[in-house]
Amino acid sequence: MSDPTLTDEARRAAIVQQMREQTGIDESMIEQLVHGFYARIRADDLLGPIFNSRIQDWDPHLKRMCAFWSSVVLSSGVYHGQPMRMHLPLPVDARHFDHWLGLFEQTARELFSDKIAEYFLDRARRIAMSLELGIASSHGVLLGSGERFHRC
């Protein structure tokens, strides 16, 4: 039972602390991952141009991505956004998502233990799949289980 005298803020802080302890992940690790990953993305031949043509100012994007990952991994609730809506217009398919996940995996494995890298990766894979499904369906393609979205 949670303490009824706690404010919402204190209750949230307690949840985040509990998640830090459970996962072994904290905000400074999220910052390292996000900064390392997007440095790779920006220099990448396939994905770099897609990001660089849409993001003029990287600082707010990196802050948003740290907030996103802290909400996903630590249940901090600090990210408020609509990732699906932002990705629907992008010119991407299975190839781009696989490549994104490859760079994410390389970064996470270089920085963290296998257990922590896999914790991040598991969540990244699920979110990537749901974005790919959403993009496919916005093109009238309904993917069955295990199917991927390929543009002609």
How far is the CA of 44 from the CAs of 54, 74, 137, in angstroms? 15, 29, 27
Q: Which of 78, 127, 133, 141 binds ligand HEM (CB under 6 A)?
A: 127
- Name the minimum Å distance from CB 145 to ligand HEM: 19
Q: Using the minimum distance from each CB to ligand HEM, give the nearer residue, 108 or 128.
A: 128
Best CA proximity match to 51, nearest among 40, 39, 42, 59: 42
Report 16-55 residues binding ligand HEM (CB under 6 A): 47, 50-51, 54-55
Cα-based angle 101, 83, 111 (whole degrees, multiple of 5): 35
Helices 58-74 and 114-138: crossing angle, nearest 10°?
110
Nearer to ligand HEM, 15 or 134 (CB): 134
**Segment 63-102, which members bind ligand HEM (CB under 6 A)?**
64, 68, 81, 83, 86-87, 90, 92, 96-97, 100
d(CA 119, CA 22): 11
Q: Which residues of the shown chain bind ligand HEM in the complex (CB under 6 A)?
A: 47, 50-51, 54-55, 64, 68, 81, 83, 86-87, 90, 92, 96-97, 100, 124, 127-128, 131
